[in-house]
Every structure is written in C-alpha cells, then in structure tokens.
C-alpha cells in the first residue's frame, strides 16, 4: 500500500497522512470515493499527469482519515477546506509524494525531500535576524530546509497574514528527544503560531497551528 504511516507523537496537534505516488491517475482515481467523477475533474484541471496524480493522491489519502465522508473543496484564495466543515485540512506535494494534515483548528503543512538544498534560496525566505539559526547549527543545510518548510507551513496556515515568506519570523530549537524541532512563528501583524518539523521516509515535514 503506498500510504506511509506517520508517527505523529512529535506533532500531537494534527493528524498527518502521506502517500508515495506509484500509480497512474486512473489507478489513483479508483482508490477514491468517486473515482470516475474525480478523474474527469482532474483531467479538466490539469494537463500534466504528475499534477493529476498529486491531486488525486490527496483524495485517496482522505479515504484513510476520519473525514473520509468529506470532499476537499477550495476557498477563493485557493486554500483547501473540508465539506464537513468540522475539521481543518492542509495539503502539500513534493516529487513523488502527497501529504495532508487534518486538525481541529486551522493548520498548515509542508513537505520537501531532505536532499533539497534550501541554502541556495536563503535570501528569498530568511530574515537577517534568522541567519543565526543557521550559523549556530552543526548542519546549516538541514536547518535551512526545516526553516523553509516551517515558513511554508505557516504561510499555508494564514495566507491572509503574509505576502512572502520573509513576512514570517521563525525562531526555534530542537526538542528533548532530538527527533523534531519546534518553532515559534510570528507574523508581521503580531499574530503568533507554533510549528513542529520532523523527518519521515527521507522527507522534511513541518506542521503549523495557532
């Protein structure tokens, strides 16, 4: 089964589901609740088979959650939400993987391969005061990737509070177990959030909530 079980003990405020995409769009559609209809919708929206697979994989993942009776819909700003309305959802994709996070409160999730070199883009997402987080870390490349995913997750949590990743401040530290990192998030208007970053199956995963 391409679904990958995630130990969410390090991220207790959300349920995270991960799918390794090995199927065609047609195969993924058959793993959803309304396969033919969703396949047709995916084909209308996307010309790329890769994008179709990513979109359909999130619908397949939903069948493995307590919200499997819901649909994934979108607000005018592009943020996803569940048709049931009682829980919140966030979606992320990276090459060959799709992920969703479900929580009782607004949530943001981001995934990236740990092989990605985020240090090449630090000027695009790091503030000057955050460079110290890299300089004080024995593995600055890994820290840069965690900060990238943490800020992306925070952006998805509250897209109305930021126009760029530099609008989001992140300060963090490693937890006592050494398995994850916690970040305090602050938006320019003073709103705060928290984010936890961990690594699963060669992926950096960050999840943020207020």
Residue-wise DSSP of the chain? --EE---GGGSTT-EEEEEE--S-HHHHHTTSTTHHHHHHHHHHH-S-HHHHHHHHHHHHHHTTSTTTTS-EEE-TTS-EEETT-SSEEEEEEETTEEEEEEESS-EEEEEEETT--GGGGHHHH--GGGHHHHHTSS-HHHHHHHHHHHHHHHHHH-GGG-SSGGGEEEEEEE-TTSSEEEEEEEETTS-EEEEEEEEETTEEEEEEE-
Q: Residue 85: its pLDDT value, please?
A: 79
Query: Would you kindly state where each structural domain of the chain is located, as residue ranges?
Result: 3-109, 112-209
pLDDT, tens digit, 9 for 90 and up, residues 152-186: 999 999 999 999 999 999 987 766 556 789 999 99
Superfamily covering domain 3-109: 4'-phosphopantetheinyl transferase domain (3.90.470.20)
For the entire predicted model, the pTM comes to 0.93
Specify the higher pLDDT residue, 2 or 23: 23
């Amino acid at each position: 089964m391409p679904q990958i079980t995630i130990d969410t003990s390090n991220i207790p405020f959300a349920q995270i589901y991960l799918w390794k995409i090995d199927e065609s769009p047609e195969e993924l559609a058959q793993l959803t609740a309304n396969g033919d209809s969703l396949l047709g919708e995916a084909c209308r929206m996307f010309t790329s088979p890769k994008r179709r697979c990513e979109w359909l994989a999130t619908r397949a993942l939903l069948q493995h959650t307590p919200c499997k009776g819901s649909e994934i819909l979108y607000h005018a700003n592009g943020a996803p939400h569940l048709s049931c309305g009682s829980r919140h959802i966030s979606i992320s994709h990276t090459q060959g993987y799709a992920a969703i996070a479900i929580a009782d409160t607004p949530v943001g999730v981001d995934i990236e391969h740990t092989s990605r070199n985020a240090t090449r883009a630090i000027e695009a997402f790091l503030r000057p005061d955050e460079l110290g987080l890299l300089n004080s870390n024995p593995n600055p490349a890994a820290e840069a990737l965690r900060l990238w995913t943490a800020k992306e997750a925070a952006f998805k949590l509250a897209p109305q509070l930021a126009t760029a990743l530099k609008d989001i401040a992140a300060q963090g530290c490693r937890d006592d177990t050494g398995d994850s990192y916690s970040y305090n998030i602050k938006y320019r208007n003073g709103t705060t959030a928290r984010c936890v970053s961990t690594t699963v199956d060669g992926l950096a995963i960050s999840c943020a909530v207020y």
